[in-house]
Structure 1
Amino acid sequence: MNNNIYKTVYFFAPHGEETREVHDELSDIFSRHGIEEVAASDDADIIASIGGDGEFLQSVRKNNFRDDCVYLGIAVDDANYFYVDFHYRDIKTLEEAIDQDNLDVRNYPLLEVSINDNKPSYCLNEFTLRSSIVKTIKMDVYINDFLFEQFNGDGILVATPTGSTGYNKSLGGSVIDPLIHAMQVTELASVNNNTHRTLGTSFLLNKERPLTLLIDKNLDYYPIMSLDNEAISVRNTEKVEVSISDKLIKTLKLKDNTFWHKAQRNFL
């Protein structure tokens, strides 16, 4: 019998009937270990997504990035993932994890993004801003209140350490250990010539160094922005502020399944 403080679970299963059999089987397994399924995610101590990394990210977003619960992902295919730690065909590993007297958790940092001084939004993976037209976008890049550079190019990507293995890596950014609570800023096709100069490489900012992007309003860029796998539609974007949030997402910490184990499986 499970004696830990986590007593309820909510299953995030966006594919509905496609995963109904898996859902029912998982509900029975959790129940046998003293963790009962609830119908509302607000009542859950554990939120378990069924699917891949995309479903995991959705489960976190649709539950408002709750930091008072534990998230876990359960895959239904044989792919390797970065956020999803379990597979429903490997029930033993899942049962061993949830049957601990005290679940061992790891914390993942979030990005906090404010657009035009509006209420902040959050993302676990990455924030992107790019031009919506076939033309480069210009913006002033501030670190704290210091004007660092005047950017001209396709756009900017800001990634968390866990998000550093995705789009950021494909742009030549570094893979960052999640124990380092920093965000990585990476350029998208910057213009570098005698008129325009940027750093030309990605860089890291810690929690005490927020990033501010002031969009050049001489032209109507209508930038396209995204938080993880969700697009944001803000027509008149003038200022974007990005920082490491005080909020942290909790996931189960497993032996031999660290971030670097996953990096090795996915890339080496």
Structure 2
Amino acid sequence: MRFAITSKGNPESNALKQKMRTYLEDFELIYDEGKPDIVISVGGDGTLLYAFHRYSSRLDKTAFVGVHTGHLGFYADWVPSEIEKLVIAIAKTHYQVIEYPLLETIIRYRHGGKETRYLALNESTVKSLVGTFVMDIEIRGDHFERFRGDGLCISTPSGSTAYNKALGGAIIHPSLHAIQLTEIASINNRVFRTVGSPLILPDHHTVVLKPVKDFDFHVTIDHLTVMHRDVKSIQFRVADEKVRFARFRPFPFWKRVHDSFISDGTN
């Protein structure tokens, strides 16, 4: 088996990375940053997002597993005191693969040019560079509403616990192949109205945003922020690709939710 390790970069994470690499190589596993079968993320959720984007061209061949070295990571199953157990599990057992849906974002431009495509593990957001964000929203080719506000967030089920949750969106189990559209500070008064609730859309539905007056936007893809100019439309749907996580023991989704947001260590 070939493996790679990504680190948060702080001393604790770097030390754990080196220790795990040494242990796994002692078991005759091969360290290969180019074509790993499994990628171990040591840090937090941001570290795993970095690893996901680094290996996004190998999603059908590479599985991810996380070790958290700070606050509880939503994607991280293991803690530093368990790395010997994790190393033995990787070296000696056949892991279960859990697949989660991803978000596809396609940006098209008013005066032609090659469209831009992204994959997101958590979410994509769209905001204006200046002034009020005004966008027509189409669902399955039909006009749904004209949105005015600060922006829009489109999340995956696994990403529904991240920025989407802070915006008041629903938490969705990642076994559901869906995306969620959530408003960011919408303007609602006697003149302007939006639906005012998050929308959960199945994998055969497509959302298209079409600019009304401004055509330059900040678009985030997980932890990445990119400015796009002269935008004609931004399309979102459930991607054909999936992310694969290596599971060596049960860690149910709702336990993750409980441990991340409810548990104080006493219940």
Q: TM-score when scaled to structure 1?
A: 0.89
Q: Give the equivalent residue in structure 2 for 1:243.
A: 237
Contact (CA 8 Å) 1:113, 1:120: kept in 2 or not? yes
Q: Give the equivalent residue in structure 2 for 1:263.
A: 257
Amino acid at match of 1:57: L
Equivalent of 1:112, from 104, 116, 134?
104
Give yes or no for the alignment of 1:82 onto 2:78: no
Equivalent of 1:46, from 17, 22, 38?
38
Could you say what the CA RMSD is over the residues aligned between the two structures, in angstroms?
Answer: 1.9
Equivalent of 1:132, from 129, 132, 140?
129
Q: Give the equivalent residue in structure 1 for 2:17.
A: 23
Contact (CA 8 Å) 1:81, 1:262: kept in 2 or not? no
Distance, in Å, in 2 between the alignment partners of 1:57 and 1:11 is 13
Per-residue CA deviations over 1:77-112 (Å, capped at 9, x if unaligned) read: 3x2111111223212441353245421010111111
Q: 1:157 to 1:42 in 2, by over 3 A?
A: same
Q: 1:221 to 1:236 in 2, by over 3 A?
A: closer
Q: 1:97 to 1:181 in 2, by over 3 A?
A: farther
User: Aligned ranges for residues 78-227 of structure 1 at < 5 Å?
Assistant: 79-95=71-87, 97-99=89-91, 101-116=93-108, 118-133=115-130, 135-217=131-213, 220=214, 222-227=216-221
What displacement does 1:14 show? 5.2
Distance, in Å, in 1 between the alignment partners of 2:10 and 2:167 is 35
Contact (CA 8 Å) 1:116, 1:238: kept in 2 or not? yes
What displacement does 1:59 show? 0.6
Gaps of 5+ in 1: 1-6
Q: Give the equivalent residue in structure 2 for 1:4.
A: none
Q: TM-score when scaled to structure 2?
A: 0.89
